[in-house]
Structure 1
Amino acid sequence: MVLISRQLFSASPEIRVRDVMLSAHDDFQTQRAKLASIMLDAMYQFVGLLDVDGKMLEINRAALEGIGIQMDDIRGMPFWEARWWVISPETQRVLQQLIRRASQGEFVRGDFEVYGQKLGEETIIVDFSLLPIRDTDGNVVFLLPEGRNITEKKRTEAALARKNEELQASWDLICRQRNELQNLYDRLMVEQELSERLLLNLLPYPIAERLKARPEIVANSVPEIIADSFPEVTVLFADIVAFTRFSAAMSAECLVSVLNEIFTEFDTIADQRGLEKIKTIGDAYMAAAGLPQPVSDHAVRTADMALDMMDALTLFNRRTGYSLQMRVGINSGSVVAGVIGKRKFIYDLWGDTVNTASRMESHSLAGRVQVTDATRRLLGGAFLFEDRGIIVAKGIGAVHTWFLAGRCAPVSR
């Protein structure tokens, strides 16, 4: 059987490959042995052969040249005493343990840091293994050490590990920042909701929406004036009679508590009857119907609110034991409404209709609701009235007024 082609020896009957001489006259087994030797020496990784005691019998050329020694210098030496392994006594002890285990028939493997360059100038990491080789009777007679240089692989893995740690740290930072942004956003939404509630407590909803749409409000500049004319509204003023004298002996907390309880009930009535609370000044309360959204029944809404306010104050007196009384004045007509101020906005009304409504309150009587002819005509026959006649109102002159005495039909709530 021919293993090597005859053409290889066409120029010469012998060919030398390093220390191996191939001949055209070699028999088949000799060729195989020589080719195996060539193959062993040509391998780039570390390969050798040890006896069961760990003494070196053969080591391939790549391993020998890697540390600059000759086979004759180390043949018969304990494998752990070779230059590769003298990086540390601990490495040598671990290698001896592996050799003992392999000599007992166990295939062993591990990563080692060893000297990989001549004179030990540089260390490398090898993936090292020991394979027991048995004879036909199953006895371990040799050990096959093999090592692959995995230094670059380990460096790459270490670099990847560092990069993964950096990426994980970046991801953790992004998650923390995202959570912080979410928390900030949530707080901002809460603050915005609070601001909107506060704004709605100061201004009617349509007016608040118009203000929110104005970027100049935020730009620390004077905003464009918001002002509207309403030809048909009804204005209500209410004042608690002699409240200053009543509250003279009260503490500040008690005074504010009384007014808060009364005016909070008035606010509820305004919401139920569809009026817009304009403001409170001391113990006076002002509201209007027909703005900022015009309605046709503005006078009826206001009359109902006035009567409800009287009932609410009566219930408050029964509950608290006080004997407070209130004057109410109502007038209907045209007004101008708008927002004034750059900070602490207020929605207010102006015009003769407002002034007359105020005079109706100040010239009314305790426990009575006084209305003008204009309001009386708009209310028609749904309410009961007492003709007060002509009064002289300060700054206005003679005015024909009426007291609102009640409703003709059952109250609609």
Structure 2
Amino acid sequence: MTLISHDLFSISPELRVREVTLSAHDDFQTQRAKLASIMLDAMYQFVGLLDVEGRMLEINRAALDGIGIHMDDIRGKPFWEARWWVVSPETQNVLRGLILRASQGEFVRGDFEVYGQRMGEETIIVDFSLLPIKDSDGNVVFLLPEGRNITEMKRAEAALARKNEELQASWDLICRQRDELQSLYDRLMVEQRLSERLLLNLLPYPIAERLKARPEIVANSIPEIIADTFPEVSVLFADIVAFTRFSAGMSAEHLVAVLNEIFTEFDTIADRLGLEKIKTIGDAYMAASGLPEPVADHAVRAAEMALDMIEALRLFNLRTGHNLRMRIGINCGSVVAGVIGKRKFIYDLWGEAVNTASRMESHSLAGRVQVTDATRNLLEEFFLFEERGIIEAKGIGAVHTWFLTGRRQPISR
């Protein structure tokens, strides 16, 4: 039985490959040994054989040629003294430790930087291992060193690690920027809600929406003239009688607290009945119904608010022990409404109906709600009145007026 085809020896009975001579007359085992030698020498990676003390017995030729040494120069010498391992004393010491462990029967493995290219002038990284080879009695008799060049793999791994670090750094940056943007967005939303709340404290909701819809609006100007005419609205003025005398000697905190409690209750009534608070001036309160969204029952709403304001002040007096009273005036008619101002703008009303409503308040009596004929005509189906008669209103002249005294029946809304 032979391994090699006879055709290989058709020209000559012998064939030399490197330092191995193949013969057509070799038996099977000899052929196997010679082929193994050829294979070992031609291996690209490093492989060899050591005794249990770590002395070199055989190294494959490819490894020897790669570093430029001859086997005769190193055979029988300690493996760690070969040129591969003189990169550093530390590397040589680690190798000696591995040989000691392998000679005791342990398979050992690790990555090393060694001289391996350009005649030993350039380092490579090898995946190195030592396999103990035992005899039939289980005793370690040889060590099989094997080294695989993993320099390119390590470089690729290092490049991949750097790229991963760069990607991670980019991702971390993106996350930080996302978090910063989210934080900024959240702050902007808070500021926007605060701005909208402040805007709604100054302006009716539809007017505020008209302002927000204009992209050219800037912080210190209103580029659009916002003005509307409303043919049918009711205007209400209220004033606390003799409040200046009442507040004399009162601390600023107490004064503001009293007015805030009263006017906050008035705001609640206005919201419930759908009136628009226009402004407060000192201890005076102004509201209107029928704007900026027109409603058919604007007069009824204003009358309801006036009576509720009188009742709210009565309950306030019961809680606090004060004896405050109000004058209220209501008038219906046409008004012009719009936004005025530059930095501190306000939604305000103008027109004869507004002036007349103001005179209805200023010429009213404490605890009474005074209205004009036009207002009474819109309300007499639902409310009770007491005729006051003709009064001389400043800047207007003679006006026939009535006092609103109560409700005829509950009004369903």
Segment of structure 1 superposing worse, 202-211 or 212-221: 212-221
Residue in 2 that maps onto 1:402 = 402
Counterpart Cα distance in 2 of 1:172 and 1:25: 72
How far off is 1:222 after superposition? 4.2
SS at match of 1:116: strand
Q: 1:106 to 1:178 in 2, by over 3 A?
A: same
Question: Contact (CA 8 Å) 2:382, 2:411: kept in 1 or not?
Answer: no
Q: 1:219 to 1:258 in 2, by over 3 A?
A: closer
Counterpart Cα distance in 1 of 2:383 and 2:56: 123
Q: Which amino acid aligns with 1:69?
A: I
Q: Percent identity?
A: 85
Q: Which amino acid aligns with 2:331?
A: N
Q: Deviations over 1:41-60 (max 9, x none)?
A: 11010000111221111001
Residue in 1 that maps onto 2:388 = 388
Residue in 2 that maps onto 1:304 = 304
Counterpart Cα distance in 2 of 1:15 and 1:218: 97
Counterpart Cα distance in 2 of 1:19 and 1:185: 79
How far off is 1:404 after superposition? 0.9
How far off is 1:410 after superposition? 4.7
Residue in 2 that maps onto 1:241 = 241
How far off is 1:307 after superposition? 1.1
SS at match of 2:216: helix
Counterpart Cα distance in 2 of 1:317 and 1:197: 31
Q: 1:219 to 1:286 in 2, by over 3 A?
A: closer
Gaps of 5+ in 1: none
Counterpart Cα distance in 1 of 2:116 and 2:131: 22
Counterpart Cα distance in 1 of 2:130 and 2:375: 111
Gaps of 5+ in 2: none
For the aligned residues, what is the CA RMSD? 1.8
SS at match of 2:53: coil
Q: Deviations over 1:88-127 (max 9, x none)?
A: 2332222222222222222211111222235642222111
Residue in 2 that maps onto 1:167 = 167
Counterpart Cα distance in 2 of 1:152 and 1:141: 34
SS at match of 2:3: coil
Q: Deviations over 1:274-322 (max 9, x none)?
A: 2111111111110011111111111111111111111111222222222
How many residue pairs match? The answer is 413
SS at match of 1:249: coil
Whether 1:48 aligns to 2:51 is: no
Question: Contact (CA 8 Å) 1:109, 1:128: kept in 2 or not?
Answer: yes
TM-score w.r.t. structure 1 length? 0.95
Residue in 2 that maps onto 1:11 = 11
Counterpart Cα distance in 1 of 2:383 and 2:118: 117
Q: Deviations over 1:10-60 (max 9, x none)?
A: 333333222222233333322222211111111010000111221111001
Residue in 2 that maps onto 1:214 = 214
Q: Which amino acid aligns with 1:351?
A: G
Segment of structure 1 superposing worse, 244-253 or 382-391: 244-253
How far off is 1:357 after superposition? 0.4
SS at match of 1:287: strand
Residue in 1 that maps onto 2:347 = 347
Q: 1:253 to 1:178 in 2, by over 3 A?
A: same
Question: Contact (CA 8 Å) 1:13, 1:24: kept in 2 or not?
Answer: yes
Give the 5 Å matches for 1:18-167.
Answer: 18-117=18-117, 120-167=120-167
Whether 1:232 aligns to 2:235 is: no
Q: Which amino acid aligns with 1:270?
A: A
SS at match of 1:62: helix
Question: Contact (CA 8 Å) 1:391, 1:401: kept in 2 or not?
Answer: yes
SS at match of 1:215: coil
